[in-house]
Amino acid sequence: MPRPLAGEVLVKVAAVALNSRDTLVIESGLGLPLTFPFVPASDLAGTVVATGAGVRRFEQGDRVISSFAADWLDGPPPGNARTPHPTLGGIYQGVLSEFVTLPEAWLVRAPSSINDVEACTLPCAGLTAWNALVEFGGVRSGQTVLVHGTGGVALFGLQIAKAHGAEVIVISGSEDKLARTRELGADHCVSRKAGDWVEEVLRITNDRGVDHVLETVGGANLGRSLQALAPNGRVACIGVQGGFELSAPIGLVLSKQATLQGISIGHRCALERFVRAVDQVALKPVIDARYSMSQLQEALAQLDRGPFGKVVIEMQ
């Protein structure tokens, strides 16, 4: 059992959400300077069971969630041009444990309107979508948002965009998953298998294009997203399913005055704002599957297959 040092909090972990990044870290280390033995995963929800000397933000019994970027509290991210900022389950040890001790600054009070299984999905997938559309994007009523896929970030993006009054177009290769996005409020569902999805998006928008794209695929898909983008639109570059190298015609970037915004999750203050929004609009994270710690391999396999929403490990 770990003991909290001065300024630290001991958390009994209730649930941990898995992200595609966790699989990459487990398989390759992503080139990060990991210290072994290494604990993966970054997103927890749990309860404070003890506090170290000097802790002021939390007390025993408080429900908390982790902050993915740990030391990044507000403003520009720490680090420099050579070194990325450290994160939980990356350079820092992860949270896939029954109990963890973390500096109190690395935690945020959990939303009161959702349970721990739902709350643990906010630090990475939820905050990524929030940052892309709200903190950077300023999404608002009258705009159109294009969402690629039906994973955790995509479905959070759908829900956040609808909460701000925007119209949402979802693209997926699964008719079943598209039907389920309609239940979450998607205005238009476009199948990747039915033909040229760019042409269909332009037809839906009367050739205007979309104001925001959650680019969760990456690679050459960026060029297709730019074709569907309205003038002065924004593309949030998030995913790497299509590869770690982005590819797009520079002419589209220039002629449309497009903004390409890299999203590196977000800082603690943004997570706190997102938590307040979750409570205010009663946003309910979508959980595709729940597993126990002993079923970690099955959970990772489910993640690789492409879940509808989030995959969560419940501590028992």
The CATH class of the 137-262 domain is alpha beta
* Domain boundaries defined on the chain: 8-124+266-314, 137-262
pLDDT at 187: 98
Q: What does pTM read for this prediction? A: 0.95
**Dihedral angle sign, alpha carbons of residues 97, 101, 102, 107:** positive
Tokens describing residue 273 = 């704002």
From first to last of the 316 residues of the chain, give the pLDDT tens digit: 999 999 999 999 999 999 999 999 999 998 888 999 999 999 999 999 999 999 999 999 999 999 999 999 999 988 888 887 889 999 999 999 999 999 999 999 999 999 999 999 999 999 999 999 999 999 999 999 999 999 999 999 999 999 999 999 999 999 999 999 999 999 999 999 988 999 999 999 999 999 999 999 999 999 999 999 999 999 999 988 888 888 899 999 999 999 999 998 999 999 999 999 999 999 999 999 999 999 999 999 999 999 999 999 999 8
Tokens describing residue 198 = 């760019």
What number does CATH give the domain 8-124+266-314?
A: 3.90.180.10
pLDDT at 242: 82
